[in-house]
Structure 1
Amino acid sequence: MSGICRTRLQEERKQWRKDHPFGFYARPEKEADGSLNLLVWEVGIPGKQNTPWESEYPSKPPKCTVCLSILDEEKSWKPAITIKQILLGIQDLLNDPNPGDPAQADAFHLFRQDKAAYERKVRQIAREMQAQGQLA
């Protein structure tokens, strides 16, 4: 990892520790030797009130890849985007997915065809994750 990238992520981590939204957490993964891997982060994102994801966030998050237009250099990415902005963007997408730029075909089709069924599926997944101990 280049020095500029490492320095930027270290500063992001310091800023996050000083000021982050209530209920969120973000921390770099630890390597076997105890050092921090600043390229891989464990995060918790609470669902907004009155949404299918309300109060649900992983206490032991499953591994996933983030696919956001704000991370795409050809779309909205800017070097000044912070970890805080990325996580708030994910929180917004949980309840208000962007059908103009879908990341998952099955979820996109269900959302477009039957939003009530989509919301039932979201709640079902949240309940299953909670039963497996993956949600707080």
Structure 2
Amino acid sequence: MSLCKIRLQEERKQWRKDHPFGFYAKPVKNADGSLDLKSWTAGIPGKAGTPWEGGVYPIKIDFPEEYPSKPPKIKFPSGFYHPNVYPSGTICLSILNEELDWKPAITMKQIVLGIQELLDSPNPESPAQEPAWKVFTKDKEQYKKKITEQAKRYASVD
């Protein structure tokens, strides 16, 4: 079995034992009912007390065969409104960048918590989509309004 698969089985076991409240992450099911450990769906809740509160934001996580040496590719749905998310949905975050802060020791839990942190603390030095970046840097009230609207679209249905 590949190092990638061994690590992902371990990640899955750890996640099921201990994951942050309100988050979910699970491997995608193949047509035959087996699990594809290299492809996951996950949800990241908005932090309480932020304009993101009330939403659970879906992401798709694809692990390369070289994982954990190389980081997973993680995307929000395309068109996701955030200064550090490309129009395609790809997230611009240093811990997901092999050239920057990716380390093989980074776990699924650290990744999703890092993304949750990024939601409410965008990095204006690393813009990935101009419209959201412009509004974030020039009109905080308008930005907050847009985020609140987006939160309603992704409201968690308990």
One of 86, 96, 100 as aligned partner of 2:125: 100
4+ aligned runs moved over 4 Å, structure 1: none
> 2:52·2:147 contact (CA, 8 Å) conserved in 1?
yes
User: Take 1:70 and 1:129, find their aligned partners in 2: how far apart are those partners?
Assistant: 25
- Higher helix share goes to which structure? 1
TM-score, normalised with respect to structure 2: 0.75
Percent identity (aligned): 57
How far is the alpha carbon of 1:117 from its aligned partner?
0.6
> How large is the Cα RMSD of the aligned pairs?
1.8
Aligned residues: 129
> 2:94·2:102 contact (CA, 8 Å) conserved in 1?
yes
Q: Secondary structure at the residue paired with 1:33?
A: coil
Query: Cα deviation per residue 1:113-133 (whole Å; 9 max; x = unaligned)?
Result: 111111100111222344xxx
> 2:46·2:56 contact (CA, 8 Å) conserved in 1?
yes
- Higher strand share goes to which structure? 2
User: Take 1:129 and 1:14, find their aligned partners in 2: how far apart are those partners?
Assistant: 27
* Consecutive unaligned residues in structure 2, runs of 5 or more: 61-75, 77-88
- Tell whether 2:45 aligns with 1:46: yes
Give the equivalent residue in structure 1 for 2:115.
90
Partner amino acid, structure 2, of 1:123: T
Query: Cα deviation per residue 1:99-125 (whole Å; 9 max; x = unaligned)?
Result: 111232221111011111111001112
* Consecutive unaligned residues in structure 1, runs of 5 or more: none
User: Take 2:40 and 2:129, find their aligned partners in 1: how far apart are those partners?
Assistant: 22
How far is the alpha carbon of 1:38 from its aligned partner?
1.7
